[in-house]
């Protein structure tokens, strides 16, 4: 009851999120999305996303306060995602959060959005173990993190050198003529295909790559291999085995993600993996990770899907960790950083 009440503001991409968290308890989480406005362009248009944040922020804030039955004056601290993300979207959310904090005279924390994808799991599954490996996968990120302390000590083990996993799925979806975003469609079709039917390459899996990039990912070579495979069949006038292409492609992506996540745990003597990001909806990621983690004696923690896509709860949850750790708020002149590590 008397733990600090933290208001979280999310605005890295196309979701405007506002949430309230006390300790690890989520009071409310409201999200407005501009996804529908981008679909016809086949990708996020930053200018449209920024304007949508501007229009959505106050209604989203008001709806969150009303649903939680909370007055603004009861808020003890404000947290916003300060990066990585689209600079226009971040700027709108950060200005809104700064204005609120300054008007209310409350501390403001500018936070890392990717870390928030992990922090949100505490709202559902409680306190984190002492150390864990975080795997954050979405349309914008594919990161492996060693989390010694969610508020103070996070080591980036690796990330994608080119496309994020969700982005690669979306690109393959486009090659196959599926609607945007293609990720969920490719996933659905993959479940009816044979992953062994086509042998697609695994990025950064040769011995030399494993030495130099043990925890990095690369999906652009795989995407090119899929494009060539499709072109060749089309030139020959053959019908595309769409389900098999999706299954073999999905297997290649998830083989890389899961094998490197498990290897990171083993190398650092960690017994828990926490997953975050919209790609954690992927059915093969879930099944392959469960299989490999349980074989290795590793526990997998995965927030429910509604907390895996971008939301204010992830930022409020992380803010709550910083407040609980007694960390100083951000300086008032902090700027959003679109390429924050
Ligand atoms: O976290 P998110 O909602 O937005 C950000 O990118 O931050 O993630 C969306 C991404 C998109 O690329 C989408 O196609 C992909 O995650 N995605 C999936 C699945 N569900 C969403 N990719 C593969 N399989 C899925 N089931
Ligand atoms: Zn995200």
Query: CA 51, CA 53: separation in Å to the nearest integer?
Result: 5
Full set of structural domains in the chain with CATH: 5-120+311-324 (3.30.420.40), 127-303 (3.30.420.40)
Q: Which atom of ligand 1 is nearest to the CA of 285?
A: 24
- For the chain, give the percent of residues with pLDDT over 90: 97
Which ligand is closest to the CA of 253, given by its number?
1
With the CA atoms of 186, 189, 193 and 195 taken in that order, what torsion angle do they form, in degrees rounded to the nearest 10? 20
Burial of residue 9, with CB atoms counted within 10 A of its CB: 0-12 exposed, 13-18 middle, 19 or more buried: buried
Q: Whose CA is nearest to atom 15 of ligand 1?
A: 166
Q: Count Cα atoms within 13 angstroms, Cβ side, for 222.
A: 33
Give the tens place of pLDDT for each residue, 287-314. Answer: 999 999 999 999 999 999 999 999 999 9
The binding-site residues of ligand 1, defined as CB within 6 angstroms of any ligand atom, are 13, 138-140, 166-167, 169-170, 181, 183-184, 187, 277-279, 281-282, 309-310
Q: How many other C-beta atoms can be found within 10 angstroms of the C-beta atom of residue 239?
A: 7
Q: Whose CA is nearest to atom 1 of ligand 1?
A: 278
Rounded to the nearest angstrom, the distance between the alpha carbon of 266 and the centre of ligand 1 is 27
Please tell me the predicted confidence (pLDDT) of residue 1. Answer: 63
Please tell me the predicted confidence (pLDDT) of residue 108. Answer: 98
pLDDT band at residue 6 using 50, 70 and 90 as cut-offs: very high
Give the tens place of pLDDT for each residue, 202-234. Answer: 999 999 999 999 999 999 999 999 999 999 999
Rounded to the nearest angstrom, the distance between the alpha carbon of 190 and the centre of ligand 1 is 15
Give the tens place of pLDDT for each residue, 146-173. Answer: 999 999 999 999 999 999 999 999 999 9
Query: CA 152, CA 154: separation in Å to the nearest integer?
Result: 7
The predicted model gives 26-54 an average pLDDT of 95
321 compared with 2, residue with greater pLDDT: 321
Q: Which residues are annotated as a binding site?
A: 113, 117, 136-140, 170, 183, 187, 282, 310
Q: Whose CA is nearest to atom 8 of ligand 1?
A: 278
pLDDT band at residue 2 using 50, 70 and 90 as cut-offs: confident
Q: Whose CA is nearest to atom 23 of ligand 1?
A: 183
Is 111 strand, coil or helix? strand
Q: Whose CA is nearest to atom 11 of ligand 1?
A: 139
Mutation test of ligand 1: which of 32, 42, 86, 183 has the most ligand atoms closer than 8 Å to its C-beta? 183
Rounded to the nearest angstrom, the distance between the alpha carbon of 116 and the centre of ligand 2 is 8
Tokens of 156: 């980036």
Does residue 53 have a pLDDT over 70?
yes
45 compared with 2, residue with greater pLDDT: 45
Q: In sequence order, what are the residues at sequence separation of 6 or more whose Cβ sits closer than 8 angstroms to the Cβ of residue 183?
A: 139, 166, 169, 170, 173, 278, 279, 281, 282
DSSP states along 222-290: HHHHHHHHHHHHHHTTPPP-HHHHHHHHHHHHHHHHHHHHHHHHHHTT--EEEEESGGGG-HHHHHHHH
Please tell me the predicted confidence (pLDDT) of residue 39. Answer: 85
Question: pTM of the entire structure?
Answer: 0.96
Please tell me the predicted confidence (pLDDT) of residue 40. Answer: 87
The predicted model gives 111-125 an average pLDDT of 98
Does residue 250 have a pLDDT over 90?
yes
Please tell me the predicted confidence (pLDDT) of residue 43. Answer: 87
Q: In sequence order, what are the residues at sequence separation of 6 or more whose Cβ sits closer than 8 angstroms to the Cβ of residue 166?
A: 137, 138, 139, 140, 181, 183, 277, 278, 279
Q: Whose CA is nearest to atom 24 of ligand 1?
A: 282
Rounded to the nearest angstrom, the distance between the alpha carbon of 139 and the centre of ligand 1 is 5
ipTM: 0.97
Please tell me the predicted confidence (pLDDT) of residue 4. Answer: 98
Rounded to the nearest angstrom, the distance between the alpha carbon of 90 and the centre of ligand 2 is 12
């Amino acid at each position: 009851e008397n733990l600090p009440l933290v208001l979280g503001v999310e605005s890295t991409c196309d979701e405007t999120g506002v949430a309230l968290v006390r300790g690890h308890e989520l009071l409310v989480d409201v999200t407005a999305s501009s996804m529908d406005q981008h679909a016809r362009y086949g990708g996020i248009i930053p200018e449209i996303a920024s304007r949508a944040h501007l229009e959505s922020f106050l209604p989203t804030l008001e709806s969150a306060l009303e649903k939680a039955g909370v007055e603004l004056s009861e808020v003890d601290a404000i947290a916003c995602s300060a990066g990585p993300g689209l600079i226009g979207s971040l700027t709108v959310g950060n200005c809104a959060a700064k204005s609120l904090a300054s008007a209310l005279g409350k501390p403001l924390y500018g936070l890392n959005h990717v870390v928030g994808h992990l922090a949100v799991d505490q709202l559902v599954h409680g306190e984190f173990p002492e150390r864990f490996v975080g795997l954050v996968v979405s349309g914008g990120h594919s990161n492996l993190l060693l989390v010694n302390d969610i508020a103070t000590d996070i080591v980036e083990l690796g990330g994608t050198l080119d496309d994020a996993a969700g982005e690669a799925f979306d690109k393959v979806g486009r090659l196959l003529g599926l609607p945007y975003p293609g990720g969920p469609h490719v996933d659905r079709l993959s479940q009816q295909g044979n992953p062994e039917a086509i042998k697609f390459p695994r990025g950064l899996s040769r011995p030399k790559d494993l030495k130099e990039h043990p925890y990095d990912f690369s999906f652009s070579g795989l995407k090119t291999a899929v494009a060539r495979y499709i072109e060749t069949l089309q030139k020959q006038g053959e019908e595309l085995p769409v389900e098999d292409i999706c299954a073999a492609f999905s297997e290649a992506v998830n083989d890389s993600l899961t094998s490197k996540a498990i290897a990171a745990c083993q190398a650092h003597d960690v017994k828990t993996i926490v997953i975050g990001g919209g790609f954690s909806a992927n059915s093969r990621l879930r099944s392959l990770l469960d299989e490999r983690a349980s074989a290795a004696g590793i526990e997998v923690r995965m927030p429910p899907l509604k907390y895996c896509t971008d939301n204010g709860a992830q930022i409020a949850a992380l803010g709550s960790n910083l407040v609980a750790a007694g960390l100083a708020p951000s300086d008032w002149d902090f700027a959003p950083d679109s390429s924050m590590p």
